[in-house]
Structures are given as C-alpha cells and as structure tokens.
C-alpha cells in the first residue's frame, strides 16, 4: 500500500497532466478558430459590432448599434485603440441619424484602414472569450463528473463546428453563451453559499450577460425555476461574511434569497450604468447634433405591443441608460415579424420547429450519441445528488428552449449557442460508467469522439457552413437554411480566388454576374462583375439614369441567401402575383431600354409615367427579373460552390431565355406560402 505522501504526489502529477491536456485543447481551439477565419471577409453583422464598439471608446457616444451588446462590442474594439485608425467624421448626416451601416462601410473600406488586420484583432478578442468559456466548460464538467468527464466535455467544446464558427466572429453570440453559462452556475452557487466573492461574482456574471445580449433577460425565469427547485429540496444556506451562519427553514431562507435578489439587481444596475458612463442620454453632448436613432423612438414604441407602457415608464424615470432601453425595444420590435427560410418554405411568423431543425441539422450526430449514452448512464447508475447538481444546466435548457420554440426570430442557428455549453457538460456524464457496463459502451464513445473530431477537421475552414450527414452535408446546406446559419457574406476573398483560377478576374467586359448577401465591399476585394440585386445596406437607389444590366449567358455567382430570395422585393417562392407584375413592369423596362440612345424620347417616357413612379417600376422589375431567375435556378444544381455559401451557375443564352421568358418552372398561389401574402400586402 502506498504512503499518503506518495498518493498526494501521484494526485498532484495527475492534476498537472490534466491541465496540460486542457491547455493543449484550448490552444488548438484558438488556432482552429483563427486560422479558419484568416481568409474570410467580415460577416454581415461584424461591420456594425466593431464600428460601434470603436465609437463607444473614442467618442463616448452610444448612438450606434445599441441593440447588440455594449460589452462584447467594447471588448472586441479594445485592441483597436492602440492603432492609428481613421474614423468617419461625426459631421456626416449618417452620424446624425445613427446609421451604423454607412458609418461602418466608410470605416472599413473608404478611409485607408488596414481592415484585415483590424478585423483579425477584433476576432482574436472574441476567440479569447471562447477560450474562457472552454475553461468554464471543463471546470463545470469536472465538478459534476470528475476530471475525465470534464475533459470529455472540453473535447466536445474544442472541436464543435458550432462553437468554432462563432468563436472567431465579432458578434455578441459567443459572449452571450459565456455569460449565460457563468450566470446560471454562479447564481445557483450563490443560492447555497453567500460570500463576498459569490455575491460579487454572480453580480458581474449577470451584468456581463445583460450587457452582451438582450435575450439575457431569460436569466430571470431560469432563476425562478431554480428557486422553486431550491425551495423544494430545502438544503441549508451557508453565509460567510463577517461571521458564519447556517440558515435552515423555508421562511428564513426565503428572506435571505430575497435579500440576495435585491443585491444582485443593484449590482447589475450599477455595472450597466458604468458601461454607459453613468449618463442617461445616448448622445455625447460634445458631439454634433443627433436627429434620431437608426429608427425613431416613435416607430420603435409603436411596435413593442404590451411592453410600451413599461418602456415609457423606464424612460420617464431613467431607470436604465437611453441607449440600453432603445436597444431593448429594437430587439423586441424586430422579433415580431422577420423573413425566414427553412427547407424551401418561407414565413414571416416563423415555425415552432425552426430551432429544433437547426439543432438536429447543424450538430454532429456524435454529440447526440454521447448525450443519449450519458442520459442512460446517469439513469442506470444514479450517482448520488447528480440531478440536483445538474439543475443549473437543466434549467437553462428548459427555459431557453421554451423561448426558442415560441420565437418568431427564425433567422439563425447561432441563437442556440448558449445551449451548447450546457449540453457538452451534461454529455460528460457518459464517463460515470459502472464497471459492468464499460466494455459495451467505451468503444462506442471512442468511435463517436473520433468521428466528431474528424468532422471538425474536414469542414475547416467553413465552420459556419457545417451540416451533418443526416441533413445532406454542407453542399446541401443552401436548401435547408441560409442567412447566418450558412451564408453571412463571408466568402468574397474565396470568390476572388475562384474567379482568378477560372481566368475570369480583372476583365472589363465580364461575363460574370454577382448577387451578394453581406456588408463587405466587392469592390474592395476586386470582384468585377455585373451587379444583380443584392443586400448591400449602402446600395445606391435605382434612378432613371441607372442602366439596366442585360442578362446573358455567363457565370452567375449568387449568395445562397439571395438565391432563396430572403431580402429582395420578390420575397418567397415565385407566385402568380409576381408573375403578373413581372410582365407588366417588363413592358416599361423594354421601352426604357429602347430609348437608351434617345434622351428626348426617354425624357418623354419618364414624364408620361412620372419620375418617382418610373423609378419604382424599374426597381420592381429588376427585383422580379432576378426573382424569376432564382426560381429557375432553385430547380437546378449549382456547377460549383465557393465556401458552400456562394453558388456558381454556368448558364447559356438558352438557359437565360428559359428562366426569364418561358413558362416558369415554379409557380405557386400566393396563399400557399405561409404569411408571405400578408407581409407583401401590408
């Protein structure tokens, strides 16, 4: 039998070895994240997050993009303060109306800033958040299931395509996942052990959550659920402040918990106000005049429904900073109705099964295997007190999923990110095997992990485009989901390389056509192409001087989101209403084209139709013509894919004629598309 000293030394060596493995995994996670994004341009939202964060530091003004997390935006922009960057003038009209998209476009692409390096710095900061979350996942898994369970949870986190996809992007999603996990666990600990460190730690975690994403309010029902469980179990509360108390009895415990709640609210309010400089107004008075936020307060309040009285009361009494309140109303108003796509269907109301499908389609099947084995293991083994100790993760999953199933905001798998750390921790329960079950399960676990890790390496660097085999893999992703679940505008550099490889780059008379979903600049990345309707927020308005791009045979490069017609005026499947409008507007467009070299005839035509109406008709025609092309292409496989997010079609003149002039291959009654008719007609 070994001596106590020998056992202590062995235990110390084992602990050191475990932490060496943890360090290797986290370094690998950081490396995979940052190398996979090295050749990706900014995704749609990154331009707003990084621009807003930089403006908070440099102008002490909070008018830009207040709905998406003061904390992660500041955090990502922090290293930019060491650089000599040019920022758009605050005398611009775009600044006075809080137009973060136009300000961001100038900041990124028009002022000579080395944007690739700027973006890399911001992304590295979010990757550091991801490393922190990895440590949290390991420690929580270790606390529940020991070192082996913690390591298994960390392996799942390290190689998860979902976590890797968002651990390298300047958005608030990773920060929300970090602080949801920290908050729920710190609050659960605080319900049992009250010390200066647990009170302050929980307060900081919840503050971080509330400053990361407005969905952080879901921590309230999670805490209520935990309080119910806590009250039913009735375990003592240990208080260690000036002296130590052990509180028993439900009445006394309720009093203590109420005191804790009040303290937490005060800490959270204090920290939120601190992040806004203890100033109510979103606008720094030393900055040029402020006409309104990106959308006016009046329009926001008209769209928050029953919450309007509460928001108005909070504004009147200045309960929270103005920018925070505005950001909250922006999220609420935008979540009422939102265009969405799922498996060939369209909606503005959403589907209850949208997020369940996202989970099933974009999570490696090995994770479900390990979760199932963990559940079976824990049910059979019944480790003492395991259900009670796992309650924070169960509460997070139950409440978050209850919200997800009823949400109308069906725009991205990323909104499920806060649920993944909890799942990975719970999957570590598979290591609690009894000896008589190990032989039959260990092999299955090892195979599952190896397949999981292999999938992660195979999808590199296109983690955002990951779909598992059951969903058809990444090549079929554009048929399942779009927007931030697949195509967030990230692949312009890869498209440039593809065009160079095909000998199609830098041609004046190009046969390339391009429709882009994103906020990066195709011009900056030297994409020379005929421009089709796209989703550039800074796109110029069509006028009677804008030439119509003739559609001929060539290479058609379409972002997956544009192919599925999510953000054009021809939203949804091609229907009879669109078909009628297409032919009627085509006649005006035809006459417009015929007068190209006859300014007098063109002026007469415009005067006859009316200048404003003429421009609306031209804009509508271009959208419908593109919509009819997309309806044709949706029934044809692409000839190539760039990063799985940009689809390439090599079309002949005959195919273009078939798409634009022959009977449409896709024609639906308006009412057959869920919610679209009501949305279009409203």
The burial class, CB within 10 Å (0-12 / 13-18 / 19+), for 261 is middle
Reported as a single tens digit per residue, the pLDDT across 374-387 is: 998 888 877 788 89
Residue pair 366/452 in contact by the 8 Å Cβ criterion: yes
Reported confidence tier of residue 346, pLDDT bands at 50, 70, 90: very high
CA distances from 47 to 104, 190, 419 (A): 6, 38, 26
What was the pLDDT predicted at 71? Answer: 98
| 70 and 56 Cβ atoms separated by less than 8 Å | yes
Q: Which is it for the CA torsion 314, 318, 320, 323, positive or negative?
A: positive
| Helix and strand counts by DSSP (H, E) for the chain | 28, 10
With 0-12 / 13-18 / 19 or more C-beta atoms within 10 angstroms meaning exposed / middle / buried, residue 133 is buried
Residue 498 Ramachandran class (φ > 0 left, ψ -120 to 50 alpha, else beta) = alpha
Mean pLDDT of 176-183: 98
Per-residue pLDDT of 504-542, as tens digits, reads 988 777 799 999 999 999 999 999 999 999 987 555 555
464 pLDDT higher than 50: yes
- Calpha distance 107→87 (Å, rounded): 6
682: confidence class by pLDDT, cuts 50, 70, 90: very low
DSSP assignments along 457-482, one per residue: HHHTT-GGG---GGGT-GGGHHHH--
SS3 labels along 548-610: CCCCCCEEEEEEHHHHCCCCCCCCCCCEHHHHHHHHHHHHHHHHHHHCCCCHHHHHHHHHHHC
What is the rounded CA–CA span in Å between residue 164 and residue 464?
Answer: 8
**Of residues 64, 51, 50, the one with CA closest to residue 95:** 64
- What are the b/e assignments for 12-22, b being 16+ CB within 10 Å? eeeeeebeeeb
For residue 677, pLDDT over 50 is answered with no
Place of tokens 């927007």: 483
What is the mean predicted confidence (pLDDT) over 460-469? 97
339 contact partners, CB below 8 Å, separation of at least 6: 346, 347, 348, 411, 566, 567, 571, 679
> How many C-beta neighbours within 10 Å does residue 643 have?
22
- pLDDT tens for 38-56 read 999 999 999 999 999 999 9
pLDDT single digits (tens) 5-30: 766 777 788 889 999 999 999 999 99
Tokens describing residue 153: 């949870």
Lowest-pLDDT range of 116-120, 142-146, 285-289: 285-289
């Amino acid at each position: 039998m070994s001596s106590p000293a020998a056992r202590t030394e062995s235990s110390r060596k084992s602990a050191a070895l475990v932490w060496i493995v943890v360090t290797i995994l986290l370094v690998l996670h950081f490396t995979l994240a940052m190398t996979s994004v090295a050749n990706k341009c900014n995704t749609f939202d990154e331009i707003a997050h990084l621009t807003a964060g930089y403006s908070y530091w440099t102008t002490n003004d909070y008018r830009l993009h207040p709905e998406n997390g003061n904390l992660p935006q500041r955090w990502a922009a922090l290293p930019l303060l060491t650089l000599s960057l040019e920022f758009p003038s605050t005398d611009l009209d775009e600044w006075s109306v809080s137009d973060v998209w136009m300000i961001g476009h100038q900041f990124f692409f028009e002022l000579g800033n080395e944007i690739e390096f700027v973006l890399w710095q911001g992304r590295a900061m979010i990757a550091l958040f991801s490393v922190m979350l990895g440590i949290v996942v390991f420690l929580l898994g270790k606390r529940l299931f020991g070192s082996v369970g913690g390591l298994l949870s960390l392996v799942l986190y390290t190689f998860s395509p979902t976590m890797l996809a968002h651990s390298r992007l300047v958005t608030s999603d990773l920060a929300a996942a970090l602080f949801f996990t920290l908050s729920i666990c710190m609050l659960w600990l605080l319900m049992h052990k009250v010390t200066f460190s647990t009170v302050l730690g929980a307060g900081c975690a919840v503050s971080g959550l509330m400053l990361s994403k407005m969905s952080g309010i879901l921590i309230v029902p999670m805490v209520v659920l935990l309080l119910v469980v806590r009250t039913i179990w009735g375990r003592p509360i240990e208080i260690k402040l000036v002296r130590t108390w052990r509180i028993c009895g439900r009445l006394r415990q309720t009093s203590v918990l109420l005191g804790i709640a009040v303290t937490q609210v005060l800490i959270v309010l204090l920290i939120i106000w601190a992040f806004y400089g203890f100033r109510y107004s979103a606008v720094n008075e030393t900055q040029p005049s402020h006409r309104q936020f990106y959308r006016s307060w009046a329009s926001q309040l008209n769209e928050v429904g029953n919450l309007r009285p509460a928001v108005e009361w909070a504004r009147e009494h200045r309960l929270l900073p103005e920018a925070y309140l505005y950001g909250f109303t922006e999220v609420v108003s935008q979540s009422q109705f939102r265009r969405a796509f799922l498996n060939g269907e369209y909606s503005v109301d959403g589907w209850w099964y949208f997020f369940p499908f996202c989970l099933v389609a974009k999570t490696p099947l090995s994770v479900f295997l390990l979760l199932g084995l963990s559940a079976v293991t824990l049910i059979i083994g019944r480790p003492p007190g395991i259900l009670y100790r796992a309650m924070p993760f169960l509460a997070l999953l139950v409440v978050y999923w209850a919200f997800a199933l009823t949400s109308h905001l069906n725009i991205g798998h990323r909104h499920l990110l806060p649920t993944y750390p909890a799942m990975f921790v719970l999957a570590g329960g598979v290591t609690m095997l009894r000896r008589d079950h190990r032989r039959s399960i260990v092999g299955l676990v090892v195979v599952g992990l190896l397949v999981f890790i292999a999938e992660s390496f195979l999808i590199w660097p296109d983690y955002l485009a990951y779909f598992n085999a059951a969903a058809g893999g990444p090549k079929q992703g554009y048929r399942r989901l779009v927007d931030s679940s697949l195509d967030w505008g990230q692949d312009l550099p890869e498209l440039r390389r593809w065009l160079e490889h095909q000998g199609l780059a830098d041609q004046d008379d190009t046969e390339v056509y391009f429709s882009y979903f994103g906020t990066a600049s195709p011009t900056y990345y030297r994409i020379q192409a005929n421009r089709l309707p796209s989703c550039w927020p800074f796109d110029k308005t069509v006028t009677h001087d804008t030439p119509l791009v003739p559609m001929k045979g060539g290479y058609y490069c379409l972002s997956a989101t544009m192919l599925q017609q999510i953000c054009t005026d021809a939203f949804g499947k091609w229907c009879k209403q669109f078909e009628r409008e297409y032919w009627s507007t085509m006649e005006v467009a035809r006459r417009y084209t015929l007068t190209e070299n006859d300014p007098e005839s063109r002026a007469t035509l415009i005067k006859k139709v009316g200048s404003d109406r003429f421009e609306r008709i031209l804009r509508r025609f271009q959208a419908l013509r593109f919509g009819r092309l997309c309806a044709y292409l949706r029934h044809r496989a692409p000839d190539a894919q760039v990063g799985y997010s940009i689809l390439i079609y090599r079309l002949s003149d005959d195919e273009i004629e078939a798409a634009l002039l022959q009977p449409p291959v896709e024609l639906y009654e308006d009412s057959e598309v869920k919610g679209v008719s009501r949305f279009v007609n409203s």
